[in-house]
Structure 1
């Protein structure tokens, strides 16, 4: 599986197509998908850092197991929480800044306790390794949508 750093590089390469939209594929533009994906990485990293590793408890979650086994998120099945949706106009400058923050966040994640965790709205509590897996699947999901948007 591609590393998160490699996937971030792919996101960076899509900035050139920032303004492209294709309503047949997604209501959202390439800019929105870039912005959302980077916000997710940054927000999850912050949540992991703030968590208490001693409080982590694994629980079986069918949706998580299914998505992790399949290796992809079915389109149209989830809704992005408001906290990872931009309410302001999305600019290239903001995307570039978030890309820098996300790169730093990924490096910091490597040094966290393995039981640092966050609460995913569909998959429950995820510690570091399942979080990295989620971020890879999530990023590939949005990269695929972006690719489809660009296939005019």
Structure 2
């Protein structure tokens, strides 16, 4: 089991009571939006990797992927969330909890996938299992940092 992602899911759960908090200087979105989006990404990416055909995986070079994965963070405000992983207008705590449970199940399933199970990222190309886990760690941490900054104010 990915210990890092498991810890991040625990942090997500701890922030649910603050889902309505916001700080326009940090983000236009609420803490709930950040939580919902992070979970949607984990679940969507995981489902794609789980349903991938490892025999179809093709390694590719992406300078952007190599640089950002090495740095371990994504810069703020540079990318827009694809429609499929954008939260709804109204964030519902019960939905966040449901997504959290799904994410925990998916993280366990990711661990036992073949090394060439993959997720096809629009900018980074095909990410094998190890790269997919790294992407999820960096992406989830990116949103946890935004949440921390919102709550600091």
TM-score normalised to the size of structure 2? 0.96
Q: Distance in 1 between matches of 2:10 and 2:88?
A: 25
Counterpart position of 1:41: 42
The residue correspondences of 1:2-151 to structure 2 (distance < 5 A) are 3-151=4-152
Name segments (4+ residues, structure 1) moved above 3 Å. none
Q: How far 1:87 moved relative to its partner? A: 3.0
Q: Distance in 1 between matches of 2:79 and 2:123?
A: 8
RMSD: 1.3
Q: Distance in 2 between matches of 1:114 and 1:88?
A: 37
Q: Secondary structure at the match of 1:126?
A: strand
Q: Distance in 1 between matches of 2:119 and 2:67?
A: 19
Q: Secondary structure at the match of 1:48?
A: helix
Q: Distance in 1 between matches of 2:106 and 2:138?
A: 17
- Provide Cα deviations, 1:93-122, integer angstroms capped at 9, x if missing partner: 100111000000000111111111111122
Q: Distance in 2 between matches of 1:74 and 1:82?
A: 20
Q: Distance in 2 between matches of 1:10 and 1:45?
A: 19
TM-score normalised to the size of structure 1? 0.96
- Provide Cα deviations, 1:54-74, integer angstroms capped at 9, x if missing partner: 010111101101111111001
The size of the alignment, in residue pairs, is: 152
Unaligned stretches of 5+ residues in structure 2: none
Q: Distance in 1 between matches of 2:100 and 2:71?
A: 27
